[in-house]
Amino acid sequence: MKIRKAVIPAAGLGTRMLPITKSMPKEMLPIVDKPVIHYVVEEAIRAGIDDILIITGKGKRAIEDYFDRSFELEYYLREKGKLEELKQVEEIGEMVDIYYVRQKKPLGLGDAILHAEKHVNGEPFAVLLGDDIIVSEKPGIQQLIEVANKYSSPVIGVEKVPWEIVNRYGIVDGTQIDNDLYEVRDLIEKPSLEEAPSNIAIIGRYVLPPEIFGILKKTPPGKGGELQLTDALRILVSERKIFAKRISGKRYDVGTRLGFIRANIELGLLRQDLKEQINALLKELVREV
């Protein structure tokens, strides 16, 4: 099965990163010099996806403007002979076909995904959440697509997390069938330490079948009174096999302050044009503490 379409839910209010998210979408927070969502879109494109639906909400116009062409800016850069910058700006406007649909009320991730039903039109699809940036040779979502193809089944991206933070994630209970692969038995959204069946946490990557929409429609609200994707997957797993794949690569949870700062430093260090200066800066700072 060819996965052509990706859905990027970007309607959340970003309360974990207030106050900046009061007037700026969390998906637009800069990591070095690109917004978080740019990295996520790049990952999808690298995995062969050519159609992206972004679920937006109130106050998210900056996302649409970012991926749109900007003729005034392009004109200005051309006039000034800033051709390198011009190329960069033009490329963003032409990266991939991006469509938008707006979630009118913040009713949860499950509800956001439901907004993709018409666009997805009966095909299996990828979901990438903007809180996680994955740096890996093979794009994170592609690693899941390969498993989905091999088993003709839905796949969830997971990572082992320290036990003390299991309550921040959807947690998977599964049987290990390979080094980095589990068959899912059950799932639980943001359990307490006592409730958690494991420390295998869902990170924001999924390959889902279109049946998920019918299931979401009959899933009752869960944690926080929101419609949870994890709860819908829990129903799906009673109907068919679901796999959980530990994604290889480095994940940055940019939805937390420390994860965000870390991502800026480490992704900056991966940049040839900044590496040396950041290294020198870090050494200087370490000497000072």
Regarding 203 and contact with ligand G1P (CB under 6 A), the answer is: yes
Considering beta carbons, is residue 18 or 281 the nearer one to ligand G1P?
A: 18
Residue 210 CB neighbours (<10 A): 14
Considering beta carbons, is residue 43 or 132 the nearer one to ligand G1P?
A: 132
Regarding 155 and contact with ligand G1P (CB under 6 A), the answer is: no
Regarding 169 and contact with ligand G1P (CB under 6 A), the answer is: yes
Q: How far is the CB of 83 from ligand G1P (least distance, A)?
A: 39
Contact 70, 93 (CB under 8 A): yes
Interacting residues of 91 by C-beta distance below 8 A, sequence separation 6+: none
Q: How far is the CB of 138 from ligand G1P (least distance, A)?
A: 20
Considering beta carbons, is residue 35 or 170 the nearer one to ligand G1P?
A: 170
| Residue/partner pairs of 148-152 with CB below 8 Å, 24 or more apart | 148/1, 148/3, 148/124, 148/207, 148/243, 149/1, 151/241, 151/243, 152/1
Regarding 199 and contact with ligand G1P (CB under 6 A), the answer is: no
Regarding 170 and contact with ligand G1P (CB under 6 A), the answer is: yes
Among 29, 37, 49, 109, the residue binding ligand G1P under the rule CB under 6 A is 109
Interacting residues with ligand G1P between 179 and 198 (CB under 6 A): 189
Determine how β-strand 200-208 pairs with β-strand 125-128: antiparallel
Task: Give 93's Cβ-side CA count (13 Å radius).
Answer: 13
Q: How far is the CB of 113 from ligand G1P (least distance, A)?
A: 10
Q: Please name which of 266, 233, 240 lies closest in space to residue 251, comparing C-alpha atoms.
A: 266
Write the binding mask 215 to 254 for ligand G1P: x where contact by CB under 6 A, - elsewhere: -------------xxx------------------------
CA-to-CA distance for 78 and 91, rounded, in angstroms?
14
Among 27, 43, 111, 132, the residue binding ligand G1P under the rule CB under 6 A is 132
* SS3 annotation, 138-188: CCHHHHHHHHHHHHCCCEEEEEECCHHHHHHCEEEEEEEEECCEEEEEEEE
Region near ligand G1P per CB under 6 A, out of 17-25, 42-50, 126-134, 264-272: 126-134
Among 98, 155, 200, 202, the residue binding ligand G1P under the rule CB under 6 A is 202
Regarding 263 and contact with ligand G1P (CB under 6 A), the answer is: no
Q: How far is the CB of 157 from ligand G1P (least distance, A)?
A: 9
Contact 78, 31 (CB under 8 A): no
Residue 211: both structure tokens together: 């049946």
Instruction: Report the residue closest to ligand G1P, judged by CB.
Output: 170
Q: How far is the CB of 22 from ligand G1P (least distance, A)?
A: 18
> What residue type is assigned to position 101 of the chain?
V
Binding site for ligand G1P (CB under 6 A): 109, 129, 131-132, 169-170, 189, 201-204, 228-230
